[in-house]
Structure 1
Amino acid sequence: QTALLNFSSLLLCILLFVCTCTYARATAPGLIDRNKEGFSGLFWKCSRIGERLSPYVALCCVAMGVKILIS
């Protein structure tokens, strides 16, 4: 079963994608900031979500880590 068909795995993939985009923008802002529209704009939007909602994203990361350790 792929990660896209399992709901909890889909949420984990989205969470990891948001965290990765946020880290990439913090490391190399010119790489993410130059494409704000189109398909490449998805990376910019996810990095903004990670920056602005960082306490909630961190809480979701902790919750997902606990869930993985328990199961």
Structure 2
Amino acid sequence: MTALFNFESLLLVILLVICTCTYARATAPGLIDRNKEGFLGIFFKFARIGERLSPYVAVACVVMGFRIMLKA
């Protein structure tokens, strides 16, 4: 089953994209900041979500990690 049809997998993919974009913006800001508009602007928005809501994103990652460990 693909991540688009499984809600838990979709949430995991979104969390990973948020964390990746935030890390990429912290290490190489020019890579994310030059694409603020258009289709690639979604990565800039994910990076902003990761920066501004970092405690909530961190809690969501920990909860998702425990959920995956207990599921297996």
Provide the TM-score with structure 1 as the length reference.
Answer: 0.98
Q: What is the CA-CA distance between 1:31 and the residue it aligns to?
A: 0.5
In the TM superposition, what are the counterparts of 1:53-64 in structure 2 within 5 Å? 53-64=53-64
Show structure 1 runs of 5+ residues with no match: none
How many residue pairs were aligned?
A: 71
Corresponding residue number in structure 1 for 2:33 = 33
Q: Do structure 1's residue 50 and structure 2's residue 30 form an aligned pair?
A: no
Corresponding residue number in structure 1 for 2:68 = 68
Provide the TM-score with structure 2 as the length reference.
Answer: 0.97
Q: What is the CA-CA distance between 1:67 and the residue it aligns to?
A: 0.0
Query: In the TM superposition, what whole-angstrom CA distance separates every residue of 1:14-52 from its partner, at most 9, and x where no partner exists?
Result: 000000000000010001001100111001000000000
* Aligned equivalents of 2:19, 2:66: Cα separation in 1: 17
Alpha-carbon RMSD: 0.4
Corresponding residue number in structure 1 for 2:2 = 2
SS at match of 2:36: coil
> Percent identical across equivalent pairs?
73
Show structure 2 runs of 5+ residues with no match: none
In the TM superposition, what are the counterparts of 1:8-27 in structure 2 within 5 Å? 8-27=8-27
